[in-house]
Amino acid sequence: MTTALEATDKDFEHMMQMLSGFFVTQIAGAVASYSIADHLAKGPATAEQISAIEGIDSIAAFRLLRACGSLGLVTFDGLMFSATPLLGTLRTDVPGSLHGLAIAWSAPGHWLPWGRFLDAVRTGESQTVPALGAEIWDYYGQKPGEGAAFTHAMDGFTSGIAREVARTVDTSTAKLAVDIGGASGTLVHSLLMANSQLHGIILDLPHAVPSATAAASALGLAERSSALGGDFFIYVPEADIYLLKHILHDWNDGAAVRILKRCRQAMRPGGRVIVIEMLLGEIGESGVAPLMDLNMMVMLPGRERTLAEYCALLKNAGLQLSKSTPIRSPMVVIEAVAA
């Protein structure tokens, strides 16, 4: 007969850290909302200086910064606070910035559905409608400030891997790439900058078109990049390459196959579908993918998947795996061609 191992003091300390995780999410959200990383990137500052710039209570600002010190985000010399490299991940002007994600995940759009996590586990169903009164994309349409923060979050995340994807995906024989649900077009723009002969289309909901158009113009890509407002379940333009980054994980298997079939039907001869997602590993492996899988359960009808599960989706859509390339862990670039 086996018995459970007795918890140690270290285990209790570890569990306390885990239980206070929602404190940390809100701290990071406040740091991002009040631009503390950007302020301290200019040099050390006092809590009073930051509070004056941001219009927040000076004592509360000091208490926030003191907590940031315990989290390794800042250092303190008795008067001034200074940024650490960890705080730099919340700057707005760095590739891979998590600034928008910190705001989006600490805002009501994510916060309230996660407050119903027990219901998500009990029913296996998304909690956005019960918590927000709308599906998440409709909610963001009603709350443009939060929607912009989420778009910023996706752009920041994409910018952190875009160059890797551009190096991984061979576009030498392609003429046109479509970025499915591409928001501001960060990913396809990276491919266009790597190949001066390539043209791109960003296909997303109509509210994303202005930001995609502006981003292309700012990069000098206006003549080779266009944005199309639409529904990728209904229409996908013909192209040589389809980019789907963090799209399939938003949907259940049936919907994911429908998206892939649209791409397969519109794909030019010799075309490819490029799926960029994080992969689930073996149970017990450390990593964010199993946690993101639960986020998909709470927020959407989607899920994270293993490589074998993605291959099954491809097969059901008339596609087959041609190449799989790990990039920044746990992300992978999955390339598929017509079966």
Contact 264, 199 (CB under 8 A): no
177 phi/psi in degrees, rounded to 5: -120, 140
Which sign does the torsion angle of CA 97, 291, 109, 332 carry? positive
Which sign does the torsion angle of CA 208, 210, 215, 216 carry? positive
Contact 299, 136 (CB under 8 A): yes
Residues serving a catalytic function are 249
Q: What is the DSSP letter of 207?
A: G
From CA 223, how far away is CA 206, in angstroms rounded? 20
Closest C-alpha among 177, 91, 173, 183 to residue 140: 183
Task: Read off the amino acid at residue 237.
Answer: P
Residues 6+ apart with CB under 8 A from 21: none
**Three-state DSSP state, 267:** strand
Contact 208, 184 (CB under 8 A): yes
Closest C-alpha among 90, 125, 129, 89 to residue 109: 129
